[in-house]
């Protein structure tokens, strides 16, 4: 599962000789640039340094400054995160100061810096995330876009950066937590989400149980840790979905209860609604699944996984198939480096199957497997596409792999557990030897 802007984090940072505990709300830290050195930088604490304008045109400073300000605001949506305020960050504009020094002075673990180059109708944005303790570059990327509407483009760039940074920060925190001799609830939670965010671990039988164990350890330390509650629910749902869709006693009720608790504690948590939607979808509650995805989008219009989940929920009627493709494409545009990308290719591939676009379906399903999402549903849809194209040998091979991953798979079993158009079941039959 992708970790993005709904992460549940309790940030701790010692400022001005004391400590700030962010318990109930998102805040942008109100620190001044001459603040005393923090005793310990908090989890997911970050400063977004003013992006440099490389356009050789000072009048374009507003565009770079706008990206900096909006990205600061978006990152502060991470639940209880610690993000240095815009005014403090801008005190460093135009100054050449070592990252370690900035990190130490502001009491943050991470520093984001970047540049913007605008040339007539084209914009290039570079960004890099740096570990304030080690000065190591954790992530870097470049975004290039054509300029049509300057403010709309600014919003798109910020959304893409924020979505990507959400998962990159969690990955970095998980690495720190792995080497911690005495991990706290946040360390354990970040490590759990790092596992769920790795598509290849879905096919590793030990991956999901490892993540679930980490979330349970976190909840033992902090029963109200929203991110751990959502993570545990997501891990249980993954175990149900990819383990053969045979419910352990009380498993779905347990998932529903954890998500209800998480939402009661944090009603604005978009990721909790996405996991709820995935659970509803896995248990044939399709209308409720779509409503959950739509709620997630209302809570955070830039949250890419919500659009992907809505796309999957729009696979129920032919009239909505084009909407599903549009929403999955929107998710991809919002978060082109998302750890859930392989799963999104699967959603797009099965939608193309529903539409009878079998070559397109094969392309997307192959992309899902190339990304590490080699679960039995991918192979079953691949068998359908090959079957309708008359590629009998390929269909048989794909179906055999699906059955290897899920030995319970039969047409009867499938019908009982998944709502599919009849064309899918007929397609599967084409991969069965007479």
Q: Given this model, what pLDDT does residue 29 score?
A: 39
Tell me the mean pLDDT in the region 29-33.
35
Closest by alpha carbon to 198, among 174, 176, 219?
174
Three-state DSSP class for residue 429: helix
Amino acid 354: pLDDT: 94
Both tokens of 255, joined, read 């998932």
Model confidence over 270-313: pLDDT tens digits?
999 999 999 998 888 888 999 999 999 999 888 899 999 999 98
Strands 82-84 and 52-53: unpaired
With contact defined as beta carbons under 8 Å apart, do 157 and 145 qualify?
Answer: yes
pLDDT for 35 equals 35
CA distance 372 to 367: 9
CATH topology agreement for domains 180-266 and 340-434? yes
Of the candidates 73, 230, 60, which has an alpha carbon nearest to the alpha carbon of residue 147? 60
Rounded to two decimals, the pTM is 0.77
Helix (H, G, I), strand (E, B) or coil at 89: helix
**Which DSSP letter does residue 23 get?**
-
pLDDT of 384 over the 90 cut: yes
The two structure tokens encoding residue 196: 């769920």
Q: Do residues 304 and 2 make contact, with C-beta atoms less than 8 angstroms apart?
A: yes
pLDDT at position 414, please? 87
| Token pair of 287 as six digits | 């209308």
Mean pLDDT of the chain: 81
pLDDT digits (tens, 9 = 90+) for 396-414: 999 999 999 888 888 888 8
pLDDT of residue 85: 83
| Mean pLDDT of the region 426-430 | 85
pLDDT of residue 10: 31
Domain spans of the chain, in order of start: 12-173, 180-266, 340-434
Read off the pLDDT of each residue in 130-140 and give the average, rounded to a whole number: 86
Which two three-digit tokens encode residue 223? 């029963």
Paired with 119 in beta bridges are: 122
Is the domain 340-434 a CATH 1.25.40.10 member?
yes
Residue corresponding to tokens 């900035």: 102
The DSSP H or E segment spanning 18 is strand 18-21
427/349 Cα distance (integer angstroms): 14
Using 50, 70 and 90 to split pLDDT, how confident is the model at 338? confident
DSSP H helices, 300-410, are: 304-313, 321-334, 341-355, 358-370, 376-388, 392-405
Question: Per-residue confidence at 74, pLDDT binned at 50, 70, 90?
Answer: confident
282-293 tens-digit pLDDT: 888 888 999 999
Separation between Cα atoms, residue 4 and residue 71, nearest integer Å: 14
Whether residue 377 is predicted with pLDDT greater than 70 in this model: the reply is yes
What are residue 144's DSSP bridge partners? 124
- The CATH classification number of 180-266 equals 1.25.40
Q: What is the pLDDT of residue 80?
A: 58
Q: Could you give the CA distance from residue 267 to residue 273 in angstroms, rounded to a whole number?
A: 9
pLDDT confidence bin for 432, thresholds 50/70/90: low
- The answer on pLDDT for 366 being more than 90 is yes
Name, in order, each residue with C-beta under 8 angstroms of 336's C-beta and a sequence gap of 6 or more.
Answer: 160, 164
Average of per-residue pLDDT across 1-23: 31
Other C-beta atoms lying within 10 Å of the C-beta of residue 396: 17
- CATH architecture, domain defined by 12-173: 3-Layer(aba) Sandwich (3.40)
Residue 32: pLDDT band by 50, 70, 90 thresholds? very low
Task: List the alpha helices (DSSP H) in 129-250.
Answer: 150-178, 185-196, 207-221, 226-242
For residue 212, is pLDDT > 80? yes
Which residues pair with residue 130 across a beta bridge?
A: 111, 137
């Amino acid at each position: 599962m992708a970790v993005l802007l709904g992460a549940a984090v309790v940030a701790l940072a010692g400022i001005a000789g004391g400590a700030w505990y962010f318990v109930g709300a998102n805040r942008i830290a109100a620190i001044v640039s001459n603040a005393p050195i923090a005793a310990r930088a908090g989890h997911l604490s970050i400063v977004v340094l003013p992006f440099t304008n490389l356009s050789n045109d000072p009048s374009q400073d507003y565009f770079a400054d706008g990206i900096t300000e909006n990205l600061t605001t978006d990152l502060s949506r991470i639940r209880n995160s610690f993000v240095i305020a815009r005014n403090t960050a801008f005190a460093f504009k135009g100054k050449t100061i070592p990252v370690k020094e900035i990190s130490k002075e502001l009491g943050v673990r991470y520093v984001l810096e970047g540049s913007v180059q605008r040339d007539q109708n084209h914009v290039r944005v570079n960004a890099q995330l740096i570990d304030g303790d080690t000065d190591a570059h954790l992530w870097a990327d470049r975004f290039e876009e054509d300029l049509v509407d300057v403010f709309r483009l600014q919003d798109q760039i910020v959304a893409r950066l924020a979505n990507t940074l959400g998962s990159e920060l969690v990955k970095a925190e998980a690495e720190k937590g792995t080497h911690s001799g005495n991990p706290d609830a946040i360390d354990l939670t970040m490590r759990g989400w790092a596992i769920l965010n790795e598509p290849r671990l879905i096919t590793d039988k030990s991956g999901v149980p490892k993540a679930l164990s980490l979330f349970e350890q976190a909840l033992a330390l902090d029963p109200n840790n929203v991110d751990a509650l959502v993570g545990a629910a997501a891990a249980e749902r993954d175990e149900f979905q990819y383990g053969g869709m045979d419910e352990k006693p009380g498993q779905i009720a347990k998932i529903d209860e954890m998500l209800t608790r998480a939402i009661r504690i944090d009603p604005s948590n978009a990721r909790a609604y996405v996991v709820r939607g995935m659970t509803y979808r896995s248990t044939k509650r399709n209308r409720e699944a779509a409503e959950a995805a739509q709620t997630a989008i209302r809570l955070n219009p830039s949250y890419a996984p919500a659009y992907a989940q809505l796309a999957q929920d729009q696979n129920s009627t032919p009239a909505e198939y084009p909407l599903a493709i549009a929403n999955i494409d929107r998710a991809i545009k919002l978060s082109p480096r998302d750890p859930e990308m392989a799963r999104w290719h699967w959603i797009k591939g099965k939608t193309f199957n529903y539409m009878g676009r079998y070559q397109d379906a094969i392309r997307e399903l192959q992309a899902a497997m190339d990304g590490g999402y080699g679960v039995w549903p991918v192979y079953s849809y691949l068998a359908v596409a090959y079957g309708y194209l008359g590629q009998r040998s390929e269909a048989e091979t794909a179906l055999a792999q699906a059955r290897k991953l899920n030995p319970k798979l039969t047409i009867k079993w499938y019908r009982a557990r998944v709502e599919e158009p009849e064309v899918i079941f007929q397609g599967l039959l084409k991969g069965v030897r007479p």
